[in-house]
Amino acid sequence: MSHSPPPGWYPDSRDATLMRYWDGRQWTATSRSEHGETSSGALPTTSSSRVRREPWSPRQSLLVAAGITAVLAVVTIVGANTDGDSGSSNPAVTATPSAITDAAAPVPPLAQEAANGIGIPHRGGDLEFVVSSWDGAIASLTVTNVGTSPQSFSYADQDVFDTEGRRFAASVKVTSDLVLAALNPGESVSGDLKFELSGATAERLELHESMFSDGVSVPLR
Tell me the one-letter amino acid at 183. L
Strand partners, 142: 130, 190
Q: Give pLDDT tens digits for 17-35.
A: 888 888 888 888 888 876 6
- Model pTM score: 0.49
Band of the pLDDT at 40, cuts 50, 70, 90?
A: low
Rounded to whole angstroms, how far apart are CA atoms 148 and 61? Answer: 61
pLDDT of 190 > 60? The answer is yes
Lowest mean pLDDT among 40-49, 73-82, 117-126, 128-137: 40-49
| Nearest-angstrom CA–CA distance, 91 and 140 | 56
Q: Yes or no: is domain 111-219 CATH 3.30.70.260? A: no
What whole-number distance in Å separates Cα of residue 126 and Cα of residue 151? 8
> Could you give the CA distance from residue 134 to residue 160 in angstroms, rounded to a whole number?
11
pLDDT given for residue 61 in this prediction: 63
Q: Which of 118, 203, 124 is nearest to 167 (CA)?
A: 203
**How do the domains of the chain map onto residue ranges?**
8-49, 111-219
